[in-house]
Amino acid sequence: MSSPLLEFSKKGIYCAEADVYIDPWKPVPKALITHGHSDHARWGHSYYMCHRLTAPILRHRLDRKLKIREVEYGEQIAINGVQFSFHPAGHILGSSQIRVSYRGEIWVVSGDYKTEDDALCTPLEIVHCHTFITECTFGLPVFRWKSQAEVFVQINSWWRQNSSQGKPSVLYGYSLGKAQRLIKHLDPGIGPIWTHGAVENINEVFRKEGVILPETRQVTQQMRLNDASGMIVVAPPGAFNSTWSKKFKGASHAAASGWMAMRGPRRRKGVDRGFVLSDHADWQGLNDVIEATGAENVIATHGYTNIFVQWLREKGLNAMTEETAFTGENLEETEETIAK
């Protein structure tokens, strides 16, 4: 591998020539942010740069007074002779891959990404490069996603059956990105869609940016649930088995996550149903994207890194792992309070 344009430091992925960090996990003067999830977007940086649709998410989650430079996809930004640009990652609203070019050398930091168009965020763009820094959250052959359309047939059928039996349905997914994807594809003809406060707050951020979602109503602590039989409630994973979730007497509980492809996580989660739906690329998606970039060098940052890198080496790529503070898709979402 040529002399590194990007280095992995104690604070994050660092470009010395431009003196900037990408998705740093400790406070730095200048931070380029791929997307709004908390393992990639931290509080405490002096200056942020991100896609314009990520900016309102950062202001909502971190601090309304953040100093942010908002950029468009494909816009060229020169910093000390280094060219940076943001390109769609297809992960959540505003999510980006960051392209870094200097003296003919091109690196791309993928952030988190998925290959299927979810009808909410800009679909993934392939960015050609010499070195590709990729996630591999689901970097095992066992992780192969069904189409989104198939999964939502399952989810809506589950909700419809519960409704016919007089049961409320509670569906768990990350409050940022996954929850809005679920809401977008639920069938409002079955019944009303309700939300946990953490989800509804993000819904409002999305709606202000022009994202069209079905009508939702927020569950409040003061609500008296006299008849919740036909409703579905979308909530973050941390709300499961809480005082808040126990409002819904006799409810059927389900989780939507890539981890639901494995029996162990389904049992540990304790839900009645698990739907395999992830905002990350599956095994085939990871391989397809890496091949399409044309990268000769691949750096895997989080997930099944050792196994995935060994596979890439067997295919003839110069692949290696690097430690980061990124977590990918966790079984639990710990950042959200459940008292909202």
Residue 158's SS3 state is helix
| Structural domains in the chain, sorted by start | 7-142+279-321 (3.60.15.10), 148-275 (3.40.50.10890)
> Rounded distance, CA 204 to CA 258, Å?
26
pLDDT tens across 89-110, in order?
A: 999 999 999 999 999 999 999 9
Q: Helix H segments across the chain? A: 55-61, 148-164, 178-185, 197-208, 263-269, 283-293, 305-314
Q: What is the pLDDT of residue 229?
A: 72
pLDDT of residue 244: 87
pLDDT attached to residue 247: 84
Model pTM? 0.94
The angle subtended at Cα 196 by Cα 194 and Cα 201, nearest 5°, is 100
- State the Cα–Cα distance between residues 56 and 64, nearest whole angstrom: 8
pLDDT at 224 (0 to 100): 65
Give 186's contacts (C-beta < 8 A, 6+ positions apart): 152, 155, 156, 159, 193, 214, 232, 234
Each residue's pLDDT tens digit, 8-52: 999 999 999 999 999 999 999 999 999 999 999 999 999 999 999
Q: How far is CA 162 from CA 25, 253, 274, in A?
A: 42, 10, 15
What are the phi and psi torsion angles at 288 (to 5°)?
A: -65, -45
The C-alpha atoms of residue 297 and residue 310 are separated, in whole angstroms, by 13
Residues of the chain with pLDDT under 70: 1-3, 221-228, 264-269, 331-340
Long-range contacts of 313-319 (CB under 8 A, 24+ apart): 317/290, 318/1
